[in-house]
Each structure stands twice: as C-alpha cells, then as structure tokens.
Structure 1
Amino acid sequence: MSVQQNAGVVLPAACAVAASFDPALARSVGAAQGQAEVDPNIKRSPLCGRNFAMFSEDPHLTAALAAAVVGGAQNAVVGPLLCCSQVTDAPDRRVDERTLQEIYLPPAAASLQAGPQGVRYGSGTLNGVPLAEAAAALLPQPTAKTNDAPSTAPTHALAVQLAAQCGVLVQNLGALPLRAGQRVAYIGAFAETPRYYGEGQPSPAAIGALDAALLKGRRVGYVKGFPANRDERDEGEFLRAVSAAVHADVAVVFAGLPESFVSPDADRRTLRLPDCQNNLIARIAAVQKNTVVVLHTGTPVECPWAGDVSAVLCMYLAGEGVGEATDALLWGDANPSGRLPETWPLRLEDTPCYLDYPGDGRTADYREGVYVGYRWYDARRMPVRWPFGHGMSYTGFVYRNARLSANTLAEGGEVKVCVTVKNSGAVRGAEVVQLYISDETGTPIAGGRVPQVLRGFSKVWLDPGEERDVEFVLTARDLAHYDPARHAWYAAPGRYLLRLGHTSRDIRASLGLNFG
C-alpha cells in the first residue's frame, strides 16, 4: 500500500499495518481508504525500495493482512503481482517451484480471492515468462466481490487510533513509560516533523510528538540535534543536544530514514541510519542511562547503539496520527501492542540474499530459496537484533494449559490447538499468540527442511488478571511443504511439533502431534 489518503486523511502504510498483527485492523484500513492498492509481495530483502508498501517477510501473515485490506476496501487493486520484492532494473527473476509455491504465491492468491476490482503487473519476467503470463498460469482469477456497504469515512481520530496499534516496543529496560514530573528532553527533528508516509505528497502535515506532548501539558524540552531531511552534523546542535540529555531525567531521540535516503523506484545500498543520527544517539547514550529512541522507518535499519540505550519504540510509517500515537505510547496513555512483521538483523551482511540482491541488472537469482526471513536466521541459528513477531508491552502475559483436541491428525481431518493466556500485569494489554509448526518426521525434503513456519496468530486484548483461551484449527495442509516432484503439497507421516510463542524465538509451550 502506498500513501493511505482519503478525504485528506493519511492512514498507516502497509509496513505499519502489518505490525498490528490484526486482520480486523487491516480490514478497517481498507474500509477507510475506500480505494486501495495492495502489494502482496514478500519482504525478501530489507534493501527493497518498496518495503514500506509490503506487509511482511512471512507468507501466512502477508496473506491474512493483504486479503483483509482488499476485503474491506470498496475498490482495491492488487499488484504488482509476482514482482517477488524486486525493484532495481526489473530483471528476470529466477525462482524455483517450491519457493514460488511456499513463499511468493500464497499472499498473491489470497489477495485475488478476497475480491479486488483490478490487478496490476510489474515489468520484467519470472523464469523467462512475462509477469502477466506467469500470473495467469500460476494464480487464480480474481474473485468477484459484491460490497454494498459504504466505505468508512476516515477521520484524524481514526488515524491516531490505528497508528497507536501499529507501534512496536522492541526494547525497554525501564525508561518507558514516561512519568509526569520527569524532566524529559526530546531530541531530533523527527520530533517536530516525523516521516509518516511512503510516497506521494500527503496533506496536511502530521502533528509531531513534540506538539502532541505540549498540547497535553507535558514537561518536555526540545533540541533539534540533527535535521529530518538530510545527513548533516551541526556541532552547536550536537553539543546542545548532549547537554540537554545530561540535565534531563530521560532523553528521547526521534530518529529515522529521511526521504532522501529511500525511493520507491530504487533499492537501497545500506541499512544504516544517517551518520549524524547514529553518532548523536551513541553520544547521548554515553551520558544518559535513560535514553529512548523512537524510529520512523519503513524497513529495518541497523541499530549499533541498541545495547547502550534503555528503550526503542518503532513506529514504522504510521500515518498522520503518528505524533499523538507516539505521545500516548511513550507516556503510557496507550499500551504498545505491535509486533515486528520482519526480522531486524544485526547487519546487512547477515540477510538471506545479501550475496545475490538485487542481481546483475539482467537476472536476479533467488538462491536463498524458501529460507526467507526468520526461516533463514533460524536454520543457521544466527543471532538477530530483534526476531520476527517480537514486541513488548507495559504488562505481562502467562501461557498455561496448552492442549490438543487429539494427539493424532488423519488425512482429511482437523485438530484444535488451544492455550490459556492470562494478563499477569496491572494494565490492559494485548498479546499476539503465534503458532509455529516444525516437521520432525525426518523425511528428506528437496531444498532443505525449514526449522519452523508460522501457521496461525491471534491478537487478544486482556484486562489485568483476565485470562482467555486462544484456539487454532489445523489440517494436513498446515503441516505440509510443497514437493516439486509431486507438483503438490505433501505432509509426510510422522511427528510434528506445534510451538506456541510470544515471538518466533520465545516459545512458551510445545505440543507433539502425529500425522497419518
């Protein structure tokens, strides 16, 4: 999705909608837009210039959210189909059959079946075949949709509400939430003029977190520190920012990628923030233990200072409500409930297609195969900055009594997976329960065995002390991988491990299931 603008209201971009992990929210975004362009491609590389318009590195999450936006919109266009997350030079994309079927086709198929009013194709080819021809051969025809319900007129209040549910608290050692009476220094021009959209020229300009705080009567000071639109260090501003941090109880640095660093028409070459931002964050963290960083970005960035700051709040590109939403999340008026829809790597060199992306200008070889995103990092047991599905809250959640309706699943049958989740803290909050499946059958798999795959997720809001059962229904298709020899999905008989987690790397309960 590009700029989400309807009647002058800019709603969150797809990268932010995905962080909600909430199909109902995604559907409401579609309904409020009325007209939506939905990109069902997968985030193969964090360098892709259009990552802000895509949802996730995971096909299950992307399919659910993209289909929800299409289903909610009066007039949706799906595309560009089968571009497989490639911008630069639109080359021939060489993707093997299993990778297409498991990674790139499911979100596109789900979007088409949700009833768009049109489709769009990118330029270039897929395995030598023009994209339009490849899509006709590999994907279902768009499902006709009758939607007589009027679109929801978007309001600024709705934009704020949606943005607050898209913010991801990725780190917190105690600096957040901020408290009345603290001396708080806001640093960085993004506090005044946040980047909140992917492309286009939206109007009006968004209210920044600084103005939102002042309107609430918060006790905050402000130093520009660095500009929002370029990488430029002013020594006087730098020193004033460090001094403000020294004399504050908490320093909040608002950082992100300037528009000049990204383009929807070209891929990036680095994951770094501007040097002026990284340098100032590091210097402030050296003198202020309660340093908080707020990030405005449509894609992961390297965060070399993460181990030195107390808290990090990622707002992605959250639309015109970003300022008020950030204010509410920082000060505890709202509880962060977002989750990362993509892995944040420690460095660019760790990413799955680092050696191959974007290609030589003629061809792009997808040699990583099905090992996209967390599948790659998990298979190599590679450390990451923050894992897929990660996100913190101002409360805590306890998982207990994980159970199956049956210990064996037969072909054509189904099994229910259930777990009880309790809010163990003092404030209302949301947990996103994630269900991953691991194939432990030992059956050889052409192209390699992926350690685990997401097969379900559920966002549940709980009051303090409240507990609720979260249930998933699985069939043989959820256990299966695509077998190129059969040209079909196949689940081998044997044992599978069902893993219920808070993130892809924080598994709270595991259950064994026999198939066949």
Structure 2
Amino acid sequence: MKYKQLIAKMTLEEKASLMSGKDFWQTQDIERLGINSMFLADGPHGIRRQAVAADKLGLNAGIPATCFPTAATVANSWNAELGEKVGEYLGEEAIAQKVNVLLGPGVNMKRNPLCGRNFEYFSEDPYLAGKMAAGYIRGIQSHGISACVKHFAANNQEQRRMSIDVVVDERTLREMYLTAFEIAVKEGKTKAIMSSYNRLNGVYTNESLHLMQDILRGEWGYQGTVITDWGGSNDRVAGLLAGNELEMPTTAGETDNDIIQAVKDGRIKEEVLDECVDRLLELIFTTEEAYRKPLVEFNVERHHRVSQKVAEESIVLLKNEDNILPLKFGKKVAVIGEFAKNARYQGAGSSIVNPTILDHTMDCFEESGIVNIGYEPGFERYGKKSRKKIAKACELAEKADVILLYLGLDEATEADGLDRKSMRIPDNQIDLLHALHQVNQNIVTILSCGSAVEMPWVDKVKGLLHGYLGGQAGARAILRVLSGDVNPSGKLAETYPLTYEDTPSFPNFPGNEVSVEYRESIFIGYRYYDTANVHVRFPFGYGLSYTTFAYSGLQVNKTGVTFTLTNSGAVAGMEVAQMYVGCNSDNIFRPKKELKGFDKIFINAGESKTVTIPFDEKTFRYFNVKTNQWEIEEAEYTIMIGSSSTDIRLTDTIFVEGTGAPLPYDKNELPSYYSGKITNVSVGEFESLLGRKVPVSTWDRKRPLGYNDTIEQCQYAKGVFGRLMFHAVVFAHWFLRKTGKRNTANLIMMSVYYLPFRGMARMTGGLINMPMVDGILQMVNGHFFKGLRHFLKERHAMRLGRRKKSAN
C-alpha cells in the first residue's frame, strides 16, 4: 500500500467516513491528516458543476462551460485523436472549475435504439467505443485530474435501471459489453470507474465479485477507484468487499456505521478496508497535484471554435441526390423547422451543460454565403399539430430554390432516466415534410437527435444531413457543411434499421418486470443485420462525402494490412477506412464480420496515400465459456476493408493458428445462434446458451414490497397507502405532461416512479435513513399506523443523534 503510514494514523471511524461522500458532489475530508475533499462533476460533453451549493442534488443550472458535441456525435468522426482533443479541453475547463473527477465518458453499448441515454454513448460496436473513450480519457487526464468511465456494466436501458436484472451469457458479456471498458482501462488508463445501477445475472454490479474482482482488478489489473452511480449502493458492506471504494452521494454517516460494525463483527477484515482507503487516497492526492500551480481561466472563444471543429468533423451526410449539396452559389433557400431557430444541441438530464456561447442558425447565414429568403417554424416543438404553421411554411417554400428543413427529437424525448417510446420523428414534423414536398421537391433535411430514428419519409428529401447533437457551435458547423466550406467526413457509429421491429433486441426490450434477457447474444447492431442479411436504411460506418475515394492494393500479413487509398474526386476530404474480420469456420457461432481496426485519413484531390491498419490482441480472439478465457480459433479468416460495414472494397484471407481450446458449444442445441437469425430464440435455447435456468421475470405479487422494489410496484401493494402513492405519481406525471411541463414530468419518472425504496435513503443526503424506510414499507404493506409511528420514531432518533454528535 502506498499510504500505509498515513492510514495507520486513522481511526476506524475516519477510514469508514472516506468511503462515502461528504455531500452530493464532494468526498469526505480529514482535516487533521491533511486529507482534502475531492469535487466530482458531470461532464461527458461539458463540465456540469452546478452554481448552487454542493449539498444540493445536481438538477440545477451549472456554471457556464463549453458544451461540446455529445459522445454519440463525436463517435461519428471515427477519430480517436479528435476525442483526445475534446478530452484535453474538457480537462482544462475542469481545472478552471476546480473539479477533481469528471464523470465520463460513457461507453455502454447501444443495444437498442430506444435507450434514452444513447446520446451519451459512442456506438453499437465495443471496439469503436473503446478506442474513442481511451482518447477522451487520455485527454482529460493529461491535466492531472481523473476521468470516470461509466456505467460498469451492461447498463443499456433507463427503464427500471436501478433494479433491473440483466440476464446475459458470459461470452456476450465479455465480447460486447465489457470490451469497451477493457480498452478504457488498459489503453486509456482511467483512474476511476463508475459502477452501474443494475443487477447483472442476479447481483448488483458494484457487489459483483466476478465483475469487480475477477475481471476488473484481476484480469485487467485495474488499480484505480470504483465509484457508485449516485444512489447506486444497495448493500454497502457487499460493495466494499467487492472493492467499490466510494459511495456517492452522502448518506450522512449511515453507511459508515454499517462498515464500522462489519469490521467489528468480522464480516470485513480491516486490511480490506485499508486497501480501499489506499486506492481512494491515491485518487485524492494525484488529482490534487493539478492545483499546485495557479489556476488559469480558459479561453472561452477558443474552446467554442474547437467545439465547432469537432462538430464539423462529426456531421454525417446520408443522402445527396442530384448533388443538391453543397448549395450552389446564389441559390435562394427557405429555412423551415423550429429546430433551426432554437437548436437541439445536447441531451437532457444529468448531462445538461450551461453553454458559454450558443450559436443560432438564423444568426450565421451572412458569413455562410447562403442566401436565406425567410424562416418559418412549420411545427410545434413538442408535437402539437398546426395547419396554420404548415400553410405558412409552404407559402415560403414556393418562393425558394431549396428548402432547408430542420427536423429532430425534442429535449424531453431523449433524456437520462427514460427510454424513448418509439423510433419515429413526431407526426407533426412528417406532416410538414409531406406538405412541403407538394410545393417544392428540392428539400434538404437537417436532423438533430442523439440516436437512430426511422426514416420512411427519406424518399421525399434530396439531401439528408445528420448533425446529431452538435454542441453549442453545432448550428454554424452545419451551415459550413451545407455551403461546402467543410467537406463532410462523418460516418455512422450505429446502424439505422428500416423499422424498430427489425432490431435484434426488439422482442426483449426493455424486458419484463424484474429482468431483461439478452437473448440476441453477440448479435447486436450490424453484427446481426449483416449476418442475417436484414436490409437496413443506413448501415454502420456509412457516410457520404463531396468527393470520392478508391481503394486498391491490399496486402495482408501476420502484423496487419496495408492498402492504397486515393481521392478520386475533385475536392480534398477525409475518409474513414474500416477493417472488418470474419472467421471462415462454422465450429463456433460468430457474426459475419466484426470491426477490428479503422483509420481516418485526409487526402487532397487526386492524391494517394498508403494506409496501414495493424492487428492487435483483439483481432482474432473470442471468449471461450469452457476454458473461461480468451482463445483464438485455428481457421482461415477473411480480412475486409471498406467504407462501411456493407461497402467492402477489398478482401483477402489469412490463416491463423489457434490456441487449441475445446469447442465451447453443441451446435445442435443453438440453431438460432449458428444461423444468426436470433429474433425468435426460445427459452430452452437461451438456457442452453446461458448454461442455467432463466430466472423468473415477473414480480411476485404475493410477497410484501421490500427495499429493492419501486414505486411502480406499489400498484400491487397490500396497503391502500401504497396504491395511493402509485396513483398519485402516475397522475402527477400525466398532469405535468398535459400542462407542457415535460421535463418535470420526466424527472418524476426518473427520480420517483422507478426509484427503489432503498433509494430514499441513498439519494436524499441523509434526510431519510434505512430505519425510516422500514416504516414507509410497513405503511405500503398494509400497516399504515404502525409504520407511521415507526417512521416518526426513527426520524426523531436520527435528529437526536445528530444533535448529540454536533454538541460533541
């Protein structure tokens, strides 16, 4: 241990106190030993240090900071160096705001397009997500502070996220849901990891010895700190035994007492607690080093321009019929769509950044050179239909050469804590599109949303530009692409299916009442579509340019591939060359192809460059559930180089020697997985894959409600009080939505409806403790007056205890 002598000076109570927050955003300090508090802040795409005191939950306005494009946007750049640049600027702003730990990036897989937090995650592919995350981490930590990769692991939905049990086979867990974290740890060298809320195969992630000890600390050699998601601690002692050092936010000493008692009665050896304290001290002291030098204010304008450059490289051109883009000089455009005036530039929930500057589309036309003849909103932002708005938009459209139509999803639709209801753009926006098409077919649509949407209307537009959520400078970046000042180079980091029903997880999302079954196994995203030959709207890795690229001269050897890339068009541009690998053996089920490398290259018109993409330890590996380790199957592999997962330009094969591991599966027991057609996997076949019985996925309505049940389950409560609570929350949500207060309605669903009863103690900063929760549960379970007396008694005892402590 590095800080053995310092720890020896601590009392047991002091050690335990360090394991929980001081308030909502700071760690505990020990003044007499020179141990200071750390400050933690949300920051996947901008610093969110709220302006109010740190003892308030993080739902208040933040101190102004640069709002960079979200992770889902930057992933479309396929440029890990650009991710590192974003991280550097985030780190610089964190220093300016005295933040020790930046809570990001998020690397969870986009298992399903409806996950409400997809805008915060990079990709459906773990290799791409891991490489982008490692870049962010290196950039953030170059300033001496810490990144905090989240949410570890398999947190792929928002609904019931604090109680849902993810049922997934070991191979899928390793290959799909842990690989990005592995890259973040080994290549990014993150100093902190945030555990997720959910259960994983029956155990809360921060209590999972398999996840936290066997894999994270054992196999990956992680020496850093594990921090709970806010309110994500279930059994504090079990979490500590798993190596989860820091619980956030504060519980006002309640869980400190749990740790102290566990040490005294022998459930935790004090040496285990000392090791946890040692790792936390390392994070505190190393991040403090960043503040030894004088603080320097960051250059607001410079950071804004960097945000613009990042957005420019992340914009994806999806359609360009008749070369309608870039806009020809002198063309008169009509700007239509509410998102043109009030840009949708970031997600909602805990990641909301208060931008230092905010570019507006309507203010940027003059410098773009685009001739704008007028603006009409055309639709109500939150879905209300208006014939009058459509009529006025059509009247303007008739006068224009080209329509710039800004469509997208509103802030209340993509939010932390809630999943989307559908993949559709709101009907009132599509009604507008159809009406405009009747009067002017030269439509260029600009999309603003953080995740995949259905596009049955795409034949009605000639140009389609997807800006995703481009941050505070995204509006200007889009105009620079439309005008041709910037040649688009973004490629989709996720597949766009024709319909939601085509997605592989459609039958099993968001799961049943208690659990969600990952029956699709490793076949998520393009791994499924390409293997099962399912037609999609836009494939993974797809994106157009204003120039063209030719691939030639592929050479494959044991260390990697080289080939020639030529800009065969008339303008300079950047191309993302992608390397996919497919195994030609059918002994083990696999996707048809998997991304194993990529490179982004700038090439002038007419120029050629030699591109080298190396193989690494992940290129040919698979996880063998019999040997319980990574293996290589001896076989011939096809190496595919392309411009997207379906646009393969060059292929060759290579024979690879294997590790001689036994075959992990009986092919006859897993017919769906060997065919890749996994949308109707039976319970029996899924159990063969899991190697165990599938747990019951419905609530036991006969048993009393407990700590890990939610307000949602109060609809089955034995007591009238519990059922009244449920109906009151449902009514409040309905009423707030009806009156237009959608963000507040979302907050109720996130922080009340899906909150486990234990969350009342874990998320209130000590206002409620677990004995008081016992009283609430008694009231809910049909013993109202007994429970009320218990609640009041425990509240009085808690207040009395705190007064005595203060007096001492």
Q: Which moved more, 1:212-221 or 1:375-384?
A: 212-221
Name the structure 2 match of 1:461: 602
Q: Which moved more, 1:330-339 or 1:287-296?
A: 287-296
How far apart in 1 are the matches of 2:315 and 2:222? Answer: 33
What is the SS of the residue equivalent to 1:321?
Answer: helix
**Which of residues 217, 221, 228 is equivalent to 2:373?**
221
**Contact 1:190–1:208 (CA under 8 A) maintained in structure 2:** no
More helix by share: 2
Name the structure 2 match of 1:482: 623
* 1:475 CA drift (Å): 4.8
Matches within 5 A, 1:20-31: 20-31=77-88
**Contact 2:347–2:414 (CA under 8 A) maintained in structure 1:** no
* 1:204 CA drift (Å): 4.4
Q: Which runs of 5+ in 1 are unaligned?
A: 406-413
Name the structure 2 match of 1:130: 204
**Which of residues 50, 54, 66 is equivalent to 2:133?**
66
- 1:117 aligned onto 2:191: yes
Name the structure 2 match of 1:104: 177
How far apart in 2 are the matches of 1:191 and 1:511? Answer: 47
* 1:477 CA drift (Å): 4.2
How far apart in 1 are the matches of 2:442 and 2:564? Answer: 35
* 1:370 CA drift (Å): 0.2
Name the structure 2 match of 1:11: 68
Question: Could you tell me which amino acid in structure 2 is paired with residue 110 of structure 1?
Answer: I
**Contact 2:304–2:357 (CA under 8 A) maintained in structure 1:** no
How far apart in 2 are the matches of 1:193 and 1:62? Answer: 30
**Which of residues 132, 144, 149 is equivalent to 1:78?**
149
Name the structure 2 match of 1:425: 569
**Contact 2:368–2:480 (CA under 8 A) maintained in structure 1:** no
What is the SS of the residue equivalent to 1:478?
Answer: coil
Q: Which string of whole-angstrom CA distances, capped at 9 and with x for unpartnered residues, describes residues 172-198 of structure 1?
A: 112111122111111001111111111
**Which of residues 42, 46, 49 is equivalent to 2:116?**
49
Name the structure 1 match of 2:347: 198
Q: Which string of whole-angstrom CA distances, capped at 9 and with x for unpartnered residues, describes residues 263-320 of structure 1?
A: 2111111011111111111222343232110001000111111122111111111111
**Which of residues 63, 79, 87 is equivalent to 2:158?**
87
What is the SS of the residue equivalent to 2:561?
Answer: strand
Q: Which string of whole-angstrom CA distances, capped at 9 and with x for unpartnered residues, describes residues 415-447 of structure 1?
A: 2211100111111100000000011023x21xx
Cα 1:228–1:15 shift into 2, 3 Å: farther
Q: Which string of whole-angstrom CA distances, capped at 9 and with x for unpartnered residues, describes residues 472-502 of structure 1?
A: 1225641222221221222222211000000
* 1:228 CA drift (Å): 6.1
Q: Which moved more, 1:141-150 or 1:264-273?
A: 141-150
How far apart in 1 are the matches of 2:131 and 2:476? Answer: 28
- 1:435 aligned onto 2:590: no
Question: Could you tell me which amino acid in structure 2 is paired with residue 159 of structure 1?
Answer: S
Question: Could you tell me which amino acid in structure 2 is paired with residue 510 of structure 1?
Answer: T
Q: Which runs of 5+ in 2 are unaligned?
A: 1-42, 49-63, 95-101, 225-282, 658-808
What is the SS of the residue equivalent to 1:255?
Answer: strand
* 1:246 CA drift (Å): 2.5
* 1:227 CA drift (Å): 4.5
**Contact 1:476–1:491 (CA under 8 A) maintained in structure 2:** no
Cα 1:118–1:477 shift into 2, 3 Å: closer
Cα 1:142–1:209 shift into 2, 3 Å: farther
Question: Could you tell me which amino acid in structure 2 is paired with residue 50 of structure 1?
Answer: R
**Contact 1:437–1:453 (CA under 8 A) maintained in structure 2:** yes
Matches within 5 A, 1:67-466: 67-74=134-141, 75-90=146-161, 91-113=164-186, 114-134=188-208, 135-137=211-213, 138-139=215-216, 140=220, 142=222, 155-173=303-321, 174-199=323-348, 200-204=352-356, 206-227=358-379, 229-405=381-557, 414-442=558-586, 444-445=587-588, 448-466=589-607
Q: Which moved more, 1:333-342 or 1:83-92?
A: 83-92
Name the structure 1 match of 2:651: 510
Q: Which moved more, 1:468-477 or 1:371-380?
A: 468-477
Count of aligned residue pairs for this structure pair: 505
Question: Could you tell me which amino acid in structure 2 is paired with residue 488 of structure 1?
Answer: Q
What is the SS of the residue equivalent to 1:244?
Answer: helix
Name the structure 2 match of 1:411: none
How far apart in 2 are the matches of 1:251 and 1:276? Answer: 17
**Contact 2:46–2:65 (CA under 8 A) maintained in structure 1:** no
TM-score, normalisation: structure 2 = 0.60
**Contact 1:187–1:223 (CA under 8 A) maintained in structure 2:** yes
**Contact 1:194–1:206 (CA under 8 A) maintained in structure 2:** no
Q: Which string of whole-angstrom CA distances, capped at 9 and with x for unpartnered residues, describes residues 40-75 of structure 1?
A: 111101100110110000010001001110111033
The answer to which structure, 1 or 2, has the higher relative contact order (CA under 8 A, 6+ apart) is 1
How far apart in 1 are the matches of 2:324 and 2:45? Answer: 33
What is the SS of the residue equivalent to 1:371?
Answer: coil
What is the SS of the residue equivalent to 1:27?
Answer: helix
How far apart in 2 are the matches of 1:463 and 1:214? Answer: 28
* 1:141 CA drift (Å): 5.1
Q: Which string of whole-angstrom CA distances, capped at 9 and with x for unpartnered residues, describes residues 112-149 of structure 1?
A: 33233322222231001210133313323545697989
What is the SS of the residue equivalent to 1:358?
Answer: coil
**Contact 2:368–2:479 (CA under 8 A) maintained in structure 1:** no
Cα 1:402–1:102 shift into 2, 3 Å: same
How far apart in 1 are the matches of 2:502 and 2:125? Answer: 18
**Contact 1:172–1:311 (CA under 8 A) maintained in structure 2:** yes
Cα 1:141–1:513 shift into 2, 3 Å: closer
Percent of aligned positions that are identical: 33
* 1:251 CA drift (Å): 0.7
Question: Could you tell me which amino acid in structure 2 is paired with residue 156 of structure 1?
Answer: H
What is the SS of the residue equivalent to 1:73?
Answer: helix
Q: Which string of whole-angstrom CA distances, capped at 9 and with x for unpartnered residues, describes residues 185-237 of structure 1?
A: 11001111111111325234622223211344531123333346311222122
**Contact 2:379–2:432 (CA under 8 A) maintained in structure 1:** no
Cα 1:143–1:55 shift into 2, 3 Å: farther
How far apart in 2 are the matches of 1:441 and 1:376? Answer: 18
How far apart in 2 are the matches of 1:487 and 1:242? Answer: 63
Q: Which moved more, 1:479-488 or 1:463-472?
A: 479-488
How far apart in 1 are the matches of 2:491 and 2:484? Answer: 18
**Contact 1:226–1:233 (CA under 8 A) maintained in structure 2:** no
* 1:244 CA drift (Å): 2.2
Question: Could you tell me which amino acid in structure 2 is paired with residue 52 of structure 1?
Answer: F
How far apart in 1 are the matches of 2:475 and 2:168? Answer: 41
What is the SS of the residue equivalent to 1:265?
Answer: coil
How far apart in 2 are the matches of 1:300 and 1:124? Answer: 24
* 1:84 CA drift (Å): 3.3
Instruction: Determine which structure has more spread, i.e. the larger CA radius of gyration.
Output: 2
**Contact 2:108–2:155 (CA under 8 A) maintained in structure 1:** yes
Cα 1:228–1:20 shift into 2, 3 Å: farther
